[in-house]
Structure formats: C-alpha cells, structure tokens
Structure 1
Amino acid sequence: MAKSEATSVNRRSDIISAAIEVFAEAGYYRATTAQVAERANISQPYVFRFFATKEKLLLAALEVSWSRVIESFRQVVETTSPELLEGKLIQEYENIQAMYQNEMFLQMQAQTIREDAIQETMRNGLKGVRDMVLAAFREAGIGKPEERTMLFLARGMLCNVAVAINLPELMKG
C-alpha cells in the first residue's frame, strides 16, 4: 500500500472513530458532520471527501461496530473448546461492551432509525452475529442451538439496556 493510500485509510478510520463518538453522544439526528470533523481534527470538507452524506458516515460506523463484534466472536469460536464456548462468548461480549461502549450506544440508537439503508445495515449486522453464534453452538453440540442463540442474543440486548440506563442488576444471573 502506498503512503498516500495508507494515510487515506488512517484518515477514514479516524473520521469513523470520531463519528462513533459524536453519534453516540449527541444522537444521529442532532450530530453534525462539523462536530465529527472537529473531533477528528480535520476540516468538514475533508469528511465529505470520504463520506458524501452523514448517513453514509453512519453506515460506515455501524459496519465497523458490527465487524468488531463478529471478528471478536470468530476468534473466540476458533480458540475455545465446545464446553466453554457459550461462557467465553458472553465474556467476550462483556469485554466488547466495556471497551467499545460508544459503538454499543450507536447500535442501540440505530435500531430506532427508520431509514431503509440503516435498517438493512442493522439487520445484516445482527444476522451475521446470529448466524455465527448459531453455527458455533451447532458445531459445539450445544443442545437446542436455536433457543440458546436466541437467549444469548437476548441477554446481550438486555445487557446493552442495563449499561445504557445504568441498571447493573439487569446483568446479574
């Protein structure tokens, strides 16, 4: 990769990271690309060089957040024995939640945005996680894998709510 390409990739990544923070803090509708540019220490036109619209920037941020979850789960699946799999996946999600809380808040907000492209990105992300966990549970010989997958995902959603509203009792059990 040429130096200018690497710089572009890094700048794009910086913009997405700034957008995740700004969208998580202000909400998608209140956030502006000017705020994202300021957070990334660049000019607003430079944001538009990479992302033609605020929606395209949100879509990229969501894709990054879903990719992080899927890749983290993939690593757990590839390195964990079947009898420890579900517990290790839960632990990994708790780690992701702690390290990338703004991404979790971003996903929670995006669930309520009715734009088709955003809904599709959310469906694809959650489906990717579901499909990976279901396949891993089946491969591990976990009984009732569909039900266990649904409960795993439900627990993750409940943990998201617990963190968002600061009600840690919801995460016990």
Structure 2
Amino acid sequence: MARIGAQERRESVIRAAVAEFACTGYHGTSTAAIAQRVGVTQPYLFRLFPDKRAMFVAALVRSMDDTRLAFERAADGMEGGEHALQAMTNAYAQLISTRPETLLMQMQGYATVAAAEAQGDGLIGQVVRAGWMRIWETVHLSLGADAEETASFFACGMLGNTLTAIGLPSGAER
C-alpha cells in the first residue's frame, strides 16, 4: 500500500477545511472536525499548518482560486461580450450546483474580515481583497473591460451566493 505524501495530505486538509469552514465559519469550526474529516490526528494537522488561521487562509485562497479558474476556463478564447458572459454564468451555476462549499467559503471569508481586523489581524482581509481583485480582473477582462457589465455579473453572483447561503435556490437552479 502506497503512503500518502505530505503534499497530498495537505491538499486533503485544504479540501476538508473548505467544507468545514464553509458550513460553520472560522469560530464555529474546530481543528478536530477538520482532522476527523481527513482521517488524521490534530497533531498531524499542525505539522502541515502552523495553526487554525493558516488552515482558514489556505481554504479561502483555494476557494477564491477555484472560482477565478472556473471563470477563466469558461471564457477562454472568447472575445468578451455576450458569449463570455453566458459561459461564465454557466460556470457559476455549475459551481453553485456541484460545489456550493466553494462559494460559501468565500462568504465566510467576507464575514470574517471585519472581526479579524478589529482584533488587529489584517491577513484575512488582505487575502480576501487580493482574491476578490483577481476574480474581478478575470471577469472584467473576459467581458471586454466593461465596468457596468462586470458589476452586474457580480451583483447577480452575490445574490446567488446569498440564496445558496440561506438555502434557497438561485435563479440559475430554478
């Protein structure tokens, strides 16, 4: 039987952290729950990540990167406009229906920024803002740098995130 390497185990922890934090947030998630989901001990988690905050940040980065990549792949080779918009809308609907934890993790990140910064921790805010700007730029450029269309895309997307978070179907799922 082949042993699972540290990098592969780290990836498993990040996936588990996304799932756990997406459901119960930073303060509601225990490292024990993440360890249990992965099938490792808590001490092993802390060999891979220095602390719970580092796991949260890694999960947040992963969820934002996955969202950006979904939009990037969907619009690849398209010259902006309606085709890119439809392709990214479809990619977003696919994310909601198959991997809602990706978007819910981002919502947890947004919700955590103010509390973290009030306690003097600016890292989560930095990660959220940088991730958001990468997603924005990907969509913005894919839509031909049309600011109004980009803002509209994100407004509809945030509505979809909110509906998903409260357990209602988004317009894409109706």
TM-score, scaled relative to structure 1? 0.86
| Structure 2 counterpart SS, 1:29 | helix
Moved over 4 A (4+): none
- Equivalent positions of 1:9-88 (< 5 A) are 9-80=7-78, 82=80, 83-88=82-87
**Rounded Cα–Cα distance in structure 2 between residues aligned with 1:10 and 1:123:** 28
Cα deviation digits, residues 129-170 of structure 1 (max 9, x gap): 11111112127xxxxx101001101110000111122333x6
2:113 counterpart of 1:107: no
**Rounded Cα–Cα distance in structure 2 between residues aligned with 1:25 and 1:84:** 33
Identity of aligned residues (%): 28
Q: Does the 8 Å contact 1:17/1:61 carry over to 2?
A: yes
How far did 1:71 drift? 1.3
Instruction: Give 5+ residue unaligned stretches, structure 2.
Output: 117-121
In the other structure, the counterpart of 1:142 is: none
In the other structure, the counterpart of 2:94 is: 95
RMSD between aligned alpha carbons? 2.1
Cα deviation digits, residues 23-82 of structure 1 (max 9, x gap): 122221021111111111001011001111111100000111111111111112214454
Q: Does the 8 Å contact 1:37/1:43 carry over to 2?
A: yes
**Rounded Cα–Cα distance in structure 1 between residues aligned with 2:57 and 2:98:** 21
The structure with higher relative contact order (CA 8 Å, sep 6+) is: 2
Q: Does the 8 Å contact 1:73/1:92 carry over to 2?
A: yes
Q: Does the 8 Å contact 2:67/2:135 carry over to 1?
A: yes
Q: Does the 8 Å contact 2:13/2:35 carry over to 1?
A: yes
